[in-house]
């Protein structure tokens, strides 16, 4: 993985990240949101999935 400073303007720094496609690269806030959603999804109970696979309006 290679991290490059692309631009500096005032107090902002833009980084370029060159990494293999199989390595996900996210900003911290995006990574945290993904983790929260994964945790929420792992807590779904079977009763919450009854509608999955059913056509809309067929319930």
Locate 13 and state its tokens. Answer: 């720094």
- For residues 44 and 37, the answer to whether their CB atoms sit within 8 Å is no
Q: How far apart are CA 40 and CA 55, in angstroms?
A: 24
Which residue reads 């370029």 in tokens?
A: 16
CA distances 31 to 35, 36, 37, Å, are: 6, 9, 10
Residues of the chain with pLDDT under 70: 55-59
Report the pLDDT value the prediction gives residue 42, as an integer from 0 to 100. 86
Q: How far apart are CA 22 and CA 27, in angstroms?
A: 16
Percent of the chain surpassing pLDDT 70: 92
């Amino acid at each position: 993985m290679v991290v490059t400073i692309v631009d500096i303007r005032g107090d902002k720094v833009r980084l370029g990240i060159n990494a293999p496609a199989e390595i996900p690269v996210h900003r911290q806030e995006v990574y945290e949101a993904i983790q929260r959603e994964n945790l929420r999804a792992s807590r779904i109970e079977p009763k919450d999935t009854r509608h999955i696979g059913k056509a809309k309006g067929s319930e």
